[in-house]
Amino acid sequence: MAEGSRSDGFQGAKTGPAGGPLPVRWSSRGRAMTFQVWGWRREDASQVLAWMPEAEGGRGAAMPRRTPATKDPTAVERANLLNMAKLSIKGLIESALSFGRTLDSDYPPLQQFFVVMEHCLKHGLKVRKSFLSYNKTIWGPLELVEKLYPEAEEIGASVRDLPGLKTPLGRARAWLRLALMQKKMADYLRCLIIQRDLLSEFYEYHALMMEEEGAVIVGLLVGLNVIDANLCVKGEDLDSQVGVIDFSMYLKNEEDIENERDVQIAAILDQKNYVEELNRQLNSTVSSLHSRVDSLEKSNTKLIEELAIAKNNIIKLQEENHQLRSENKLILMKTQQHLEVTKVDVETELQTYKHSRQGLDEMYNEARRQLRDESQLRQDVENELAVQVSMKHEIELAMKLLEKDIHEKQDTLIGLRQQLEEVKAINIEMYQKLQGSEDGLKEKNEIIARLEEKTNKITAAMRQLEQSDNDLLTQTRTIAMSLVKYASSDTQDQYKLVKDISF
């Protein structure tokens, strides 16, 4: 569609606030309107919205102006965090330098600095789901620094080894404190914000660490290298601390402003008095300089006269120099002729020296070759001698080992012979004992046979006695049973007697 046609919209060029053309496309469908602006900053949007094209319903009718668009809340948050970081870092540096001492954990500006840094690192952090709860902590990106900066491995290992830290947030707070003591917090975070593709796993696209504000804060952290901090991380409870920014440290009431104004007025008055005193000193200095200028002018006239005299002397010296140069040229020509004659003599002497040197070189090479052959022969003889000496040592060592082995075997033979004699004596003694035991065994066998015969007889007699005892017992029981029948008519004593007899 040609430029300027308005069938369903309008396209054209309008001069922008800077004087250049502003490419704008506007379309209207019903009551909806859309602006697309290229090459403009966000703060120029209000100036763009102030210009509106004509409405479709009637040419020349002016559309009502739109109100400026509201700012992005995330951009406002980033700007607020950046301003708080600037205030906390500036206040910490100024207070530390004014006190001129090493900071500890109880120092309020230092505590507020860590709280502000914690809020800056938490901005735009992604929420990670786990089995039990949602996890949103800054320990993940800080732990990533070890992979990007090898020197940060030591601080990561120290944080993981600290006792008493149970939560990732506590480890992150300990990491920030150790990094400040090492004076490398800016270096660690700079390596982190450069790798935005890795940070995207932990932060949203609009997070502080993903935007330019993060780089600005990292640049401000470089100024903390002038501070010496001595923080006790081991015994501090970092898991349960509540990070709240104390704005009262950075906001001032009317009394503080008036006191500062009085202090500034007093400082200005002191400066005024100092300037007046300085002015008086400068006036006295100017007067002394005027007198000095007069003396310098008088001395200048004297120097001009001396300069004229010096110029005349220089002209005379130049004439003398010209004469000396001409004489020098004559001397130089004579010297060159003498050098040419001397050069010819030197060349002849050099040829003679070369011939004599050639003969000496041949003699030297021959003597060197003979020395090399003799050295080689001596080396071979020394090697053969060393081999012979080593063989002699080995033979002597072998002879000593053989003698030692022979002595040991002789001692073993003597011991074996003694053991053999002892075994023979034991065998003879055992044989004699065996003969005696065989005779005793025969006698015992005879006694056992007689005892067995007696035992058999006694057994037969006992069986007869048992049989007779059983017969007697049966007879006694029959008599007792017969007496029991009449026990009721007898007396008590008779019944008791019968009962004892029956049993």
For 22-44, the pLDDT digits (tens) are 333 333 333 333 333 333 333 33
pLDDT at 427: 84
pLDDT (average), residues 59-66: 40
pLDDT (average), residues 135-150: 83
Query: What span, in angstroms and rounded, lies between the C-alpha atoms of 142 and 193?
Result: 11
Phi-psi region of 30 (alpha: psi -120 to 50; beta: other; left: phi over 0): left
Give the chain's length: 503
- Select from 227, 232, 225 the least CA-distant residue to 99: 227
Band of pLDDT at residue 262, cut at 50, 70 and 90:
confident
With b for 16 or more beta-carbon neighbours within 10 A and e for fewer, the 443-479 pattern comes to: eeeeeeeeeeeeeeeeeeeeeeeeeeeeeeeeeeeee
- Mean pLDDT over each residue of the chain, to the nearest integer: 77
The answer to whether the CB of 127 falls within 8 A of the CB of 158 is: no
Q: Render pLDDT for 233-243 as a digit per residue (tens, 0 to 9).
A: 877 778 777 76
pLDDT (average), residues 267-274: 81
Specify the 3-state DSSP secondary structure of 252.
coil
Specify the 3-state DSSP secondary structure of 227.
coil
User: May I ask the CATH class of domain 73-251?
Assistant: mainly alpha
Query: What span, in angstroms and rounded, lies between the C-alpha atoms of 155 and 145?
Result: 10
As a whole number of Å, the CA-based R_g of the chain is: 63
pLDDT (average), residues 199-223: 89
pLDDT at 111 over 80: yes
Q: Render pLDDT for 367-415 as a digit per residue (tens, 0 to 9).
A: 888 898 888 988 989 998 999 898 888 888 888 888 888 888 888 889 8
pLDDT at 216: 92
pLDDT at 275 over 80: yes
Cβ-based neighbour number of residue 46 at 10 Å = 14
pLDDT (average), residues 93-121: 83
Specify the 3-state DSSP secondary structure of 214.
helix
Specify the 3-state DSSP secondary structure of 404.
helix
For the chain, domain boundaries: 73-251
Helices 73-99 + 212-221 axis angle, to 10: 0
Contacts of 214 (CB under 8 A, 6+ apart): 120, 189, 193, 207, 208
Query: What span, in angstroms and rounded, lies between the C-alpha atoms of 180 and 114?
Result: 10
pLDDT at 61: 38
The answer to whether the CB of 26 falls within 8 A of the CB of 34 is: yes
pLDDT at 491: 54
Task: Give 249's DSSP letter.
Answer: G
Q: Report the Cα–Cα distance between both ends of the chain, in Å, rounded.
A: 146
Q: Render pLDDT for 113-128 as a digit per residue (tens, 0 to 9).
A: 988 998 998 888 887 6
Query: What span, in angstroms and rounded, lies between the C-alpha atoms of 209 and 281?
Result: 56
pLDDT (average), residues 199-208: 88
pLDDT at 494: 56
pLDDT (average), residues 120-149: 77
What is the pTM (predicted TM-score) of this model?
0.41
Long-range residue pairs from 250-253, CB within 8 A, at least 24 positions apart, any chain: 250/84, 250/87, 250/88, 250/91
Task: Give 55's DSSP letter.
Answer: -
φ and ψ at residue 15, rounded to 5 degrees: -70, 130
Task: Give 210's DSSP letter.
Answer: G
